[in-house]
């Protein structure tokens, strides 16, 4: 501390000393040193990331190899000691399902490791050892697509060219119920003038160094996730058609194709989360675990504005989780705010907090859920069927029947205004639905006073009265639907296929299923053939400009065949490219 001269009572502050030198050259040297350190730190981080990706890929490959050997041992034991009834066959099928997911995991981890290794020069990508692939059967027809060679030498411009040979890349492709192997020929050309050897670049494959064409990959994905056919059943069908392919080989392609389609999934996710109103639901999905099967969940969120004349295309995204804790929907909708139409699951509770950031989510009740609780107590036809089978029929409650009729009156009003704008729907609701809702609430309160709290009817009534604000919110907003059926319809693909594929082999398998279901169900919502769309997207996605990737979304998609047939000049150009002289 400094003091003023002649006055010891007045302290002065010490002058601040800058940590930076005043010399320009020294400053430049310090800046250069900081930059070099930052680059070195970035390189070390990239190396660590690549090494971690390699370790994960190595672990996945090892697990897949162990599962493969276990399956082979089980098959050999069965052949040696004979079959042991139905249980052994089902056990082998379960092991094949598990191997399927592990092989897909290994393929995906290998691609991640390869992508991480490209960002560093010090770490080489992990290369998974695979058994040599057998050549394609000779009986399959071959279609030669010759990439035209240059007419002059790219190096010196001379036209004195000589063909030295050619490289042939065989890709297995499928045309519905017809198989063929496409041979892509790349001729090597030598210049007699400068002795320079040139060759056209190799064609793009969706899967690096892959042998499966985009239509074949699309069929695999659609059959597995759209038609609920596990890969072992698809492999059996291919073998009967004369194309033997192992389950592990097919699973490899599924994992790699799902990885390639991730950008499209992210675009669909962004489109869904840009909506002002969403439908949400979830269902169970069995997950293979050690010695048992656990119960995971698949969640879906649907954007569909067509009921009130919205112009935005519909779409759905799926998410997978190992359990049903409320943290999962909170994570799925972390950046979203708006109107959520869902059931009364308690896990959504924190989403409806008034102080939630980035904004409050308003709850909209589902009248279909409320009606279902009354309908189960008033199912006259169901009671008659049980009675005809000699079973004890449940009691029919007149109060439940009347409640169903009152709710059906609200649905009748909605059906007449379906497709109208939100403002038109709101006007109809204020005029016709509001009096019915007021009467319904008064009637429910009167009936509840006559019942015991433990009665099934009381539980059904309380389901509505305790959430009355959420059920009545549609009277003030024309965008809200009366039911959550949009989410239930999109989610129906899961329970339809559960009996066919039994369970997901791993958490990664559940995540892959969520991505595939998102793509396929979104295509269906937009009346697009999922398999044709997937085939075209897989064929075009790598060469498509990143800033125009949204053109491949289902509601914007036009197949190359449609673009060609719409312009005759395109057809001529396409024919010249495919069959050069």
Q: Which of 466, 483, 500 is the last residue of a domain?
A: 483
How does pLDDT run across 351-384, given as a tens digit for each residue?
999 888 888 899 999 999 999 889 888 875 665 5
**Residue 200 pLDDT > 60, yes or no?**
yes
- pLDDT digit string (tens) for 150-174? 889 988 989 899 888 999 988 888 8
Please report which confidence band the pLDDT of residue 575 belongs to, taking 50, 70 and 90 as the band edges. Answer: very low
- Among the listed residues 505, 556, 542, 548, the one whose alpha carbon sits nearest the alpha carbon of residue 294: 505
List pLDDT tens digits, range 116-141. 777 776 666 666 666 566 788 888 88
Residue of 452 and 19 predicted with greater confidence = 452
Is 228 among the domain residues?
no
* 483, 500, 523 - which closes a domain: 483
Residue 216 lies in a domain: no
Residue 394 in domain:
yes
Q: DSSP secondary-structure letter at 212?
A: B
**Can you count the helices (H) and strands (E) in the chain?**
20, 11
d(CA 541, CA 552) in angstroms, rounded, equals: 8
Q: Is 385 part of a structural domain of the chain?
A: yes
DSSP H helical ranges for 298-363: 327-332
Q: Which residues pair with 298 in a beta bridge?
A: 283, 320
Report the pLDDT value the prediction gives residue 62, as an integer from 0 to 100.
75
Domain count, the chain: 2
The percentage of residues in the chain with a pLDDT greater than 90, rounded to a whole number, is 42
Q: Residue 112 falls within a domain, yes or no?
A: yes
Does residue 222 belong to any structural domain of this protein?
no
Residue 517 counted as domain residue? no
Percentage of the chain surpassing pLDDT 70?
82
pTM score: 0.73
Residue 384 in any domain: the answer is yes
Segment 287-311, tens digit of pLDDT: 877 767 788 999 999 999 988 888 8
Among 433, 468, 483, the domain boundary falls at 483
459 pLDDT exceeds 70?
yes
Q: Strands 338-341 and 277-289: what pairing?
A: parallel
Give the mean model confidence (pLDDT) for residues 38-59: 75
Tokens coding 258: 């799902």
| Alpha helices in 158-227, H assignment, sequence order | 214-221
Contact (Cβ atoms closer than 8 angstroms) between residue 102 and residue 59: no
Domain around 402? 367-483
Transcribe 121-174 into DSSP letters.
Answer: SSSPPP----PPPPPPPTTS-EEEEEPPPPSS-TTT----EEEEEEEEEEEEEE
């Amino acid at each position: 501390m400094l003091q003023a001269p002649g006055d010891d009572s007045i302290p002065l502050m010490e002058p601040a000393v800058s940590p930076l030198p005043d010399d320009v050259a020294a400053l430049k040297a310090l800046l250069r040193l900081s930059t070099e350190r930052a680059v070195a730190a970035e390189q070390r981080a990239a190396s660590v990331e690549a090494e971690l990706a390699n370790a994960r890929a190595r672990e996945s490959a090892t697990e897949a190899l162990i599962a493969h050997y276990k399956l082979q041992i089980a098959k050999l034991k069965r052949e040696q000691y004979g079959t042991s009834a139905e249980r052994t066959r089902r056990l082998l099928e379960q092991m094949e399902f598990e191997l399927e997911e592990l092989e897909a995991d290994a393929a995906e981890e290998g691609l991640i490791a390869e992508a991480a290794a490209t960002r560093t020069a010090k770490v080489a990508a992990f290369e998974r050892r695979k058994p040599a692939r057998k050549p394609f059967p000779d009986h399959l027809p071959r279609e030669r697509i010759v990439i035209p060679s240059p007419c002059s030498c790219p190096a010196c411009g001379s036209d004195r060219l000589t063909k030295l040979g050619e490289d042939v890349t065989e890709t297995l492709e499928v045309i519905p119920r017809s198989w063929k192997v496409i041979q892509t020929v790349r001729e090597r050309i030598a210049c007699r003038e400068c002795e320079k050897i040139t060759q056209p670049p190799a064609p793009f494959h969706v899967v690096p160094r892959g042998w499966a064409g985009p239509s074949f990959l699309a069929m695999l994905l659609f059959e597995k996730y759209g038609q609920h056919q596990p890969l072992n059943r698809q492999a059996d069908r291919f073998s009967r058609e004369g194309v033997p392919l192992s389950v592990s080989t097919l699973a490899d392609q599924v994992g790699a194709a799902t990885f390639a389609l991730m950008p499209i999934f992210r675009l669909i996710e962004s489109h869904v989360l840009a909506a002002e109103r969403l439908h949400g639901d979830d269902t169970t999905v069995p997950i293979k675990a050690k010695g048992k099967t656990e119960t995971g969940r698949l969640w879906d969120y649907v954007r569909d504005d067509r009921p009130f004349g919205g112009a935005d295309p519909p779409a759905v995204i799926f998410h997978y989780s190992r359990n049903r804790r409320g943290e999962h929907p909170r994570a799925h909708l972390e950046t979203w705010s708006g109107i959520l139409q869902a059931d009364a699951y308690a896990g959504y509770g924190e989403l409806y907090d008034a102080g939630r950031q980035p904004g409050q989510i308003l709850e909209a009740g589902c009248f279909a859920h409320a009606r279902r609780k009354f309908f189960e107590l008033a199912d006259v036809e169901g009671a008659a069927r049980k009675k005809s089978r000699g079973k004890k029929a449940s009691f029919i409650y007149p109060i439940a029947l009347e409640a169903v009729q009152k709710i059906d009156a609200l649905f009748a009003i909605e059906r007449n205004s379906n497709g109208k704008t939100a403002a038109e729907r709101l006007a109809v609701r204020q005029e016709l639905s509001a009096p019915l809702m007021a009467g319904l609430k008064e009637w429910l309160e009167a009936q509840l006073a006559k019942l015991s709290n433990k009665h099934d009817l009381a539980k059904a009534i309380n389901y509505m009265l305790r959430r009355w604000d959420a059920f009545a919110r549609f009277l003030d907003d024309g965008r809200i639907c009366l039911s959550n059926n949009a989410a239930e319809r999109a989610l129906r693909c899961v329970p339809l296929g559960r009996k066919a594929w039994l369970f997901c082999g791993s958490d990664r398998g559940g995540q892959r299923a969520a991505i595939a279901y998102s793509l396929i169900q979104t295509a269906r919502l937009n009346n697009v053939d999922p398999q044709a769309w997937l085939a075209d997207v897989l064929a075009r996605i790598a060469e498509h400009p990143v800033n125009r990737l949204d053109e491949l979304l289902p509601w914007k998609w036009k197949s190359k065949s449609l673009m060609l047939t719409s312009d005759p000049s395109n057809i001529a150009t396409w024919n010249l490219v495919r069959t050069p002289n």
